[in-house]
Amino acid sequence: MKWLLVALLVIFLALGTFLLSPSPIDSRGWQAPEPPALEGPLAPNTLLREADLLAKGQVTGPEDVALDERGRVYTGTLDGKLVRVGKGGQLDVLAETGGRPLGMAFDQYDRLLVADAQRGLLSVDVDGSVRVLTREARGQPFGFTDDVSIAPDGRVYFTDASIRFGYQDSMLDLLDMRPSGRLLRWTPHRGRAEVLVSNLNFANGVSVAPDGSYLLVSETWKYRILKYNIVGPKAGQVEVLADNLPGFPDNLDIDGQERVWVAFPLLRDHRIDSMHRWPWLKDLVAKLPEVLRPQPKPYGFVAVLDREGRFLASLHDPGGRHLQGLTSVTPHGGFLYFGSLHNDRIGRLPVSAVPGLNEVTDEF
């Protein structure tokens, strides 16, 4: 009996400590819309399992992919390296950023611009030298530099996912639902970043249209894609291109036919959607060790939309046996390249394998 009383006392003290300890967030309630059904263009299939696998077992967390003019594949890894995948599958290390490289794109001078979650917006020359272009805007340091896209005029658009939570704490930002993400622009001759849009719920993937007239940005926690008008009568205005998406949109890319390719690392989770209605519950969940928080089911999912935000097709890998947790899809030279924070590989699939679509003929 004595051991039982001691056990109950320990449990009581532990529970009291847990309930009375401060939460790392002060969450806001939100009513998530009912998710769309996975039917029609969104119907599950196994198209992603047809993808070739590049650098399998040699890369950890290749979140994004960029290709140079010679069609060589570059990516960033969990340990801060920028690597190039050779024709024989071998890896060449271009540089080490000292942070966590995420989104990347080549500019007109063959420099690789990198959104490094921890170090800011970087420029990497062909010899591997790394230069920090900017680390702050309006006096506010970047909290989570996420993705980058370059306009035809050379101006650089990029995202700061959250100024409140860093790379290791994205789940806290999701539970918190207090928007602090930013869409930014860096102009080479000015040498500083300006804020175009603020207070986004995790500003994630960004892609400038081929003609430079607009860009798209993923607002991940709100399940939507926003359109920012760069020129024209609506310049500076923000519109919603696609809302109530079936998953968390990550990096996206606009191809030469203005089709929008979107990677979704996770499908919608009814537990998360339901939890958003009760801030007090989210505050408690945020105090739990990560292993005790709701864990997502592995799944591979990419969708393609037209310029009006209507779904054209989708690519799936139910169970994520071949490709899962995809964070980027990059169209280039008739192929799609898939990156992921959690895979140890890069996927490659011909656009012609997607039913009902013509091959992309434009180079990027």
In this prediction, residue 358 carries a pLDDT of: 60
In this prediction, residue 1 carries a pLDDT of: 54
DSSP E strand stretches across 276-334: 299-305, 311-318, 326-332
Cβ proximity of 148 and 113 under 8 Å: yes
Tell me the per-residue pLDDT of 24-51, one tens digit each, with 9 for 90 and over: 999 999 999 999 999 999 999 999 999 9
Residue ranges of domains in the chain, CATH in brackets:
27-353 (2.120.10.30)
Residue 36's alpha-carbon distances to 19, 174, 272, 320, in angstroms, are: 36, 20, 16, 21
Q: Which pairs from 82-88 meet CB under 8 Å and 24+ separation?
A: 82/112, 82/114, 82/124, 83/55, 83/59, 85/54, 85/55, 85/346
Tell me the per-residue pLDDT of 48-82, one tens digit each, with 9 for 90 and over: 999 999 999 999 999 999 999 999 999 999 999 99
Tell me the per-residue pLDDT of 119-154, one tens digit each, with 9 for 90 and over: 999 999 999 999 999 999 999 999 999 999 999 999
**Range of lowest pLDDT (99-108, 174-183, 293-302):** 293-302
